[in-house]
Structures are given as structure tokens and as C-alpha cells.
Amino acid sequence: MFRSIARVVASVGLVSVSLLASLANAQISPNLPNPIAAPNPLTTTLSIFRSNMQDKIMKSAEAMPESKYSYRPTKDVRSFAEILDHLAAISYTLCSNAKGEAPPAPPAAKSSKTQLMAYLKGSFDYCDGVYSGFTDAHLNDPADFFGFKTNKMFILTQVGNHDALHYGNLVTYLRINGLEPSGGWF
């Protein structure tokens, strides 16, 4: 009798492990980029993370109705529109710094959803150009981070880090307004 119970428990255990493993694999997209084989795996890794965050930010900007762009949960924090404007400005600042040039001048008008999304997309496109021109060999080149001496890898890391930080704000604003964030593959 003990052997019969042990066989049932072992069988159920194996099925459970197989099921849990398949569910775990289902959580990670089979299309997850793998930078290991890329010519510049470190730069590619930074670019993948940044690109993913920027895709989520653009989807958030699209999802929020223009009438809610002025929304702010408290008077002490940025509005949804101000976060998008800030994200674009910092993307231009950091990416131009990594490229070794002055940031492009911001557009005069950024008051509508369309204008803000265009400014944001422009900053992300600008960063795409900067990242695509980088090689791993240049990641340790000297850079300036708001007066502090560092390397270009630090600057490029901060672009994705800053985007992720404020994507968290956007998700909260969307949810408070009854909207679902886009999610993504990680």
C-alpha cells in the first residue's frame, strides 16, 4: 500500500513540476532578444532594455486620453503631461551627452497630446541613433554626468533607468484613471 501511495505522489509531483515549468516558460516570450551573439553584446543589452521601456512609455502616452494629460494625483507631483515632457528632455540630454554634442532645442509648443507624443518620439528616435552608433569598445570612454566625471556606459545606463523610473509613475496614473498599462515581454 505504501508503494502505491508513493507512486501516486511521485506521479502527481512529476506532473506538477512539468506543469509549473511550462507555465514559467510561458511567462517569458520566445521572442525575448538574446544579445549574447550580437557584435556589441553590452551595448545591445542596454539598447534592448531602453527600447522596451520606451515602447511601454509610448503606449502609455497613447492610452491616456488627452483630457487626462493634466492629471496629477497630488499638487506636489508632475502631471502626466509633465512626466512625458521630462522624459523627452532627459532622453535628449543624456543621449546628446553620450554622443558628445549639445541637445537639440525643444519645440516651442508642447501643449497637446499630439505635440507631446511627437516630442517624446523624437527624443527616443534621437537616442536610437546614438545607441546604434555605439560599440562596446567605447562604453568606458569618459563622460560628464551633470558635472560628475564618469563613463559613457553610466550615461547610457541612466537613459533606460530613468525611463523605467518614470514608466512606474505613468502606470500608476493610468491605473488611477481606470486604464490598463500595456505590459510587455518583460
- Summarised one tens digit per residue, pLDDT across range 63-81 is 999 999 999 999 999 999 9
Each residue of 83-106: pLDDT tens digit? Answer: 999 999 999 999 999 999 999 888
Amino acid in the structure at residue 63: A
Query: In the structure, what pLDDT confidence band is assigned to residue 4 with cuts at 50, 70 and 90?
Result: low
174 class by beta-carbon count within 10 Å (0-12 exposed, 13-18 middle, 19+ buried): buried
Question: Given a cut of 70, is residue 12 above it in pLDDT?
Answer: no
**Is residue 95 within 8 Å of 127, Cβ to Cβ?**
yes
DSSP letter, residue 74: S
Q: pLDDT averaged over the chain?
A: 85
Mean pLDDT of 47-56: 93
- What percent of the chain has a predicted confidence (pLDDT) above 70? 81
Which pLDDT tens digit goes with each residue over 111-137? 899 999 999 999 999 999 999 988 999
pLDDT bracket for residue 35 (50, 70, 90): confident
Across 114-148, b (16+ Cβ under 10 Å) vs e yields: eebbebbebbbebbeebbeebebeebeeebeeeee
Query: When comparing pLDDT for 4 and 16, which is higher?
Result: 4
Question: DSSP assignment, residue 136?
Answer: G
Q: What is the pLDDT of residue 21?
A: 43
pTM as predicted: 0.81
